[in-house]
Structure 1
Amino acid sequence: MSDLFNTYTLWLIIAGAIATYMTRIGGYLLMTRMKSIPPRVEAGLNAVPVAVLTTLVTPTFFDGGYEVKAGMIVALIVGLRFPGLTMLFAGWLLVVTTRHFVG
């Protein structure tokens, strides 16, 4: 247990916290000093939600079982036509039903 909390680990956590804080505050300060947002910056900011969603969904899709893959595909198809909560419920329902009846 003492190997987890040595000074190197503590300094690494502190450095990571400082780096995270500086990037967040730096982005805020940079954006507040701009008169208008350039189109390329706006396009990059618009791509952030897609990148985050991809980061969250991809590992689950590839590490999950067949029921998870099927649930995500169904959720994707339902999400093209219906709102987010309906999409979530459809995928969840398929996964739970498959796990209950198939095992």
Structure 2
Amino acid sequence: MEVRLDVLLAILGMALVTYASRAGGYAVLRAVRAPDWVQVLLRHLPGCLFMAYVAPPLLAGGPGAWAGAAVVVAVQLATRNLGIAILSGIAAVWGLAWLAG
């Protein structure tokens, strides 16, 4: 395997920028108290981001995707374990695809 210097430098640069942006945000929020509306926004942001990732494929996925999503919700409510819920949803989608042939 050949390691290209330009690719390695690009990867290291992207890693550095990613780390700096995350660490910078933590540093700023430690030094300055964010207004209440920013704190509320930050508390709800992970759910919004999750929906932004999930909604388009779910809408384009058809009945199998909706069935998998229903299984995820049901298992999550029953077990309160997100890992098991996601794996159950994947198994449901695969099982329906296998049954459909």
TM class by smaller structure: 0.5 to 0.7
User: What are the within-5 Å matches in structure 2 for residues 24-63 of structure 1?
Assistant: 24=21, 27-28=25-26, 30-34=28-32, 36-63=33-60
* TM, length-normalised to structure 1: 0.66
Let me know the Cα RMSD of the aligned residues: 2.3
Gaps of 5+ in 1: 1-16
User: What are the within-5 Å matches in structure 2 for residues 1-103 of structure 1?
Assistant: 24=21, 27-28=25-26, 30-34=28-32, 36-82=33-79, 83-103=81-101
Structure with bigger helix share is 2
* TM, length-normalised to structure 2: 0.67
Aligned residues: 82
Distance in 1 of aligned mates of 2:73 and 2:40: 24
Instruction: Please tell me the residue identity of whatever aligns with 1:85.
Output: G
Distance in 1 of aligned mates of 2:37 and 2:78: 30
Gaps of 5+ in 2: 1-13
Superposed CA deviations along residues 17-70 of structure 1, whole A, max 9, x for unmatched, are 9xx97xx47745542331x44332211101110011001110011011211111
